[in-house]
Structure 1
Amino acid sequence: MKHAETVTFGGSGLDRAAHLRADDAQIGANPAARAVVLWRGKPLITSEGGPLARLPLDHPVMADAGDVRVFLGQDDDGPVFAVNLSRWTPELPDGDELNTFLDASQQQHPATGDAIFAELRAIMTTLSPRDGELASTARAVLGWHDSHKFCSSCGTLSNAVDAGWRRLCPTCDTSHFPRTDPVVIMLIVADDEVLVGRSPGWPEGMYSLLAGFVEPGETMEAAVRREVFEEAGIRIGEVSYLASQPWAFPSSLMLGCYGTATSKDITLDPVELEDARWVSRSEMEQVARGEHPTILPARKGAIAHFLLENWLANTLD
């Protein structure tokens, strides 16, 4: 696809300046340096619908930041870091709202005025390409630090080095790097129909393209064929690549693929899918307009929406 990187969280041309990571103290000494701030994976935005907040490194809110500071790269205005307010415990909403698929709650830190912490999936379509890349990178790398604090070789608490892009074990000297898990998500077509499915527990009416993790020793194309057959019993012939999307929930790279079905009879794996169906182009146009009686449009910002939108517009090439 000629416009593949226009997908949400697609490349914004950020200079990650990896050659500077060995000396983050010098980078941070730059008076123009700023930080994007996260709490529980939620980025701080200036206001509802506003851009990412970028705060000086000596801002009072940094007193609640954890020990890891990640250098994201050089923006037009100077170095950009990311920090996690792991020492801050705000008053939380009643119930389990924070653990829902799409947390709609917002939090405010007393040191940041009207700025709010908002769930990234809820605001991703309002962010500029640059803010989207910064926020998704910050969420992925800071989340990796939270879940990989101990050396997998000897169990010792490791240290963040290289401006947050590596953890080093002080006991056995093993290096650990942020992980990215490849996931194939498939636009599977037969004639003028597209295959969609829904997982158990999804909101009523929510359907999407089929997806699954690439296994070790497996090509992207083989993963597409295996996942579709395992989940829906459909055989796939030719497979091609369309676009990718960093998906920091928590650490995936979505590989958007196009596959041509050689069979159409659906046999569900009930563990993976509650339902799967073939949807015609005219019916999918109705879905996209929000007029379908039983199927909701794919969530804006997700690569499934991007691929379906381009399929309907005949702009996959």
Structure 2
Amino acid sequence: MKTYTPTTSGTFLERLAGALAVSTFSTCYFYAVLWLPTVGLLFFFVSRTAAAAALVPYAVSAVLPTKALPWLLNTWFFRCALKYHDFDEVEETSQEEISLIEKDKKIIFAAQPHGVMSITGICSAINMAPRPTPPTCTADVIRRIPIMKHVFGVFGLVGASSRSLKSALRRTSVVLYVGGIAELFLSNPAEERLYVGKRKGFIKLAMQTGSEVIPCYYFGNTTCLEILRHPVLTSVSRKLGASITILWGRWGLPIPMPGKSMCVVGKPIGIPKKEFPSEEDVDKYHAVYVKEVKRIFDTYKTRLPDYKDKKIIIET
């Protein structure tokens, strides 16, 4: 098992840059959908020139394809995010072991919790840079919204539909947020709720494609941002595949709080290949996955001040 030494707090300049780096993603996540309405407001209340200037980057993003950019994440600016969040990482399965597994099969890195947005997941990708990380599964709408698709496209994105995942797993391992949008609306700094009781499709998919499942726990995802919760917002967001709500962090702005974050890469579940798995097969390995997630949480939670007294709650 490999454990990374936590980053130091850094200088004031490094922490400021780190706050701006992570805020690039949280601000885009919230405001990208408001870009076109903003262009309209500029047109009617400011000037056509201002509206045209604001429309150019949106239009360019709309037509250009996205591309993973691990070299960008390896720059001083983005690496400062690791200091801002005092990032740490534990590898119960080392990168060398992962490479050996991938010689025979692809891996679904089952990530939880989703949080308002995965700040710890972002830090993990930055920590790995310039090595590329497996692409992240996301709803198609995220990969189509101009500006947003390019900001988050630096991590590499693949569709989260069953068809897209089956296609992706023929050529690459993937990061899959098991709880999805439903888990996003459970995010709360005061408690740790996972939406996993009914999420069994990823286990069936792993069996059908002959893929392995490795749980990844992202400590810090539920403590750095908060959102406005309402049943209507939850319902609309789940249908769209993207969150429609208000988020905030430091000073009431979309700036994530600077609390400690930690990624724990767990152990392989040991998924067998079965083209036509039974319900009992899926239930068996889903139970193993849930047990492993609980073990990871209870084993490492004392390393984070915000988590030492928390208990994990599994939503069914």
Band the TM-score falls in, shorter-chain normalisation: under 0.3
Task: Give the TM-score normalised by structure 1.
Answer: 0.24
Relative CO higher for 1 or 2, CA cutoff 8 Å, sep ≥ 6? 2
Which has a greater percent of strand? 1
Which has a greater percent of helix? 2
Structure having the higher Rg: 1
